[in-house]
Chains A and B, each alone.
Chain A
Amino acid sequence: MRKTLTIIGFFAVALAGAGWWITTPERVDAGDYADLIGVPARGAVVFHAGGCASCHSAEGASGDKKLVLSGGRAFVSDFGTFHAPNISADPEHGIGDWSVTDLANAMIHGTSPTGQHYYPAFPYAAYSRVRPQDIADLHAYLITLPADATPDRAHDLAFPFTLRRGLGLWKALYVTDGWQVAGDLTEVEARGRYLAEALGHCAECHTPRGVLGGLDRDRWMAGAPNPSGQGTIPNITPAKLDWSEADLIAYFTSGFTPDYDTAGGSMAAVVESLAQLPDADRAALAAYLKRLPAVE
């Protein structure tokens, strides 16, 4: 009896230890970033491809105001309401005192400078694939943007989602390496894949999720309920999206659909960012979409 209890106790401690270990926030190897020199102009492309302003600018901001990354927008989900934080250059309320490594830990592992898990409303499940040089460039660009002293607003979540430690388990389950669209890709298609799967995080809205909020990768880009609660996000695999590459490029440039309506809902903000990219990047995205496996 005593022995059985000891064994049970041993396993309980081991399990708790393993759980603690699995849920420990990960960090990047600082050495990977030490020698990188960020170039702000290249960082601007990373910034627009990543759609940072869509979430981190103030609600209703347009034009130059979208470069004031004061945060504050609310994102309603099944788990509660998330509020985008201030990522302006303000050293106290924003990320003005962050190093490149701090930014890398946030984007690659969803880990804050103080070692806390971020909630995956911040799309590190996609950003985990971003190249170190792009993070260095992005960092160099972000610190050129205006500082804003708006304090962060706390998330409004229901228990048990208030326990950040549990996010380690979520990450272990859903933050994966590698690319979704595999096989032989042309250089253009590969660039499109990087823009779509790493920076652009298109799948965050266009791919459906399971009960725990992880992406259903078997239905990659096959459409999903709208996280805002109204209607659905469309299936953009070739099974449903029959636009030509020229149509897609025109849409990413001007927002015009082939019927000359304009992008609606949250896609309007996405197009505002995509419109800032070089022509070649919009063409690469279009080429990638054409390579997606068709999912009905």
Chain B
Amino acid sequence: MFKGMTVVGTVLGLAILAGAASGQDAAQKALADATKARQAQMQLYAFNLGLLGGMAKGEVPYDATAASAAAGNLASLAQLDQSRLWPEGSDEMGVEGSKVMAELWQNMPDVMSKGADLVTAATAMEVAAGTDLASLQAAMGPLGGACGACHKAYRVPSN
């Protein structure tokens, strides 16, 4: 009888442990998913910037309609709801492939302000891209500055 209870207890205990482990797995997966989604968003920024930058460098002929569309995408991307994209714990130590420093979560007011700067720069690019090539070229610097400000402060250096 006593032995039977021990067996039941052990089985129960193992089941609880397994449950906890799978809960942990699910939490870890959520962090990894958010990291992947963030990186996908960055890819979309880069893809749209590629067209604008190509025009700015003179490698692609300037086309107001195409440039406006790409810049509009940037402005939309910058204004996506990101409340689920940056869960705490999805830093470089917490998720493989993440390059976010843990400091980001200790400086949320600064992060939000840098995010607002990006929206401003992307919105300015939306206007500039549809105006003319010189305006587009002039708007590249502030846009790069807005991207770089956050990378400089909160991304692990890759070099």
Contact = CB atoms under 8 A, between A and B. Distances in A.
Interface of A: 60, 62, 226, 228, 230-234, 244, 246-247, 249-250, 253-256, 259-269, 271-272, 275
Interface string B36-57: 0000000001110110010011
Contacts, number: 77
A255 B158 CA distance: 15
A254 B53 CA distance: 10
Contact of B158 (A249, A264, A275): A264
Contact of B151 (A60, A230, A247, A268): A268
B61 interface: no
A30 to B, nearest CB: 40
Interface in B54-103: 56-59
A260 B148 contact: no
Given A255-B145, A255-B148, A256-B53, 16 more contacts: A231-B158, A231-B159, A232-B159, A244-B57, A246-B59, A247-B57, A249-B57, A254-B144, A256-B49, A256-B140, A261-B46, A262-B148, A262-B151, A265-B158, A268-B148, A275-B141
A5 B151 CA distance: 67
A234 B158 CA distance: 11
B144 A256 contact: yes
B153 to A, nearest CB: 8
B149 interface: yes
Nearest to B155: A264
Contacts of B119: none
Contacts of A266: 157
A145 B55 CA distance: 37
Interface residues of B, number: 25
Contacts of A271: 144, 148
Nearest to A258: B53
B83 to A, nearest CB: 24
B41 to A, nearest CB: 13
Contact of B140 (A60, A250, A259, A268): A250
B34 interface: no
Given A255-B144, A259-B46, A275-B141, A250 B53 contact: yes
B136 to A, nearest CB: 12
B133 interface: no
B16 to A, nearest CB: 42
A246 B145 contact: no
A71 to B, nearest CB: 20
Question: 5 shortest A-B CB distances, which residue pairs?
Answer: A254-B144, A265-B157, A260-B46, A268-B152, A262-B148
A60 B145 CA distance: 15
Given A255-B145, A268-B148, A268-B152, A260 B159 contact: no
A234 B159 contact: yes
B128 interface: no
B140 A262 contact: no
26 contacts: A226-B159, A230-B157, A231-B157, A231-B158, A232-B159, A246-B57, A246-B58, A250-B53, A250-B140, A253-B141, A253-B144, A255-B145, A255-B147, A256-B140, A260-B47, A260-B49, A260-B53, A262-B151, A263-B148, A264-B152, A264-B157, A264-B158, A264-B159, A266-B157, A268-B151, A275-B145
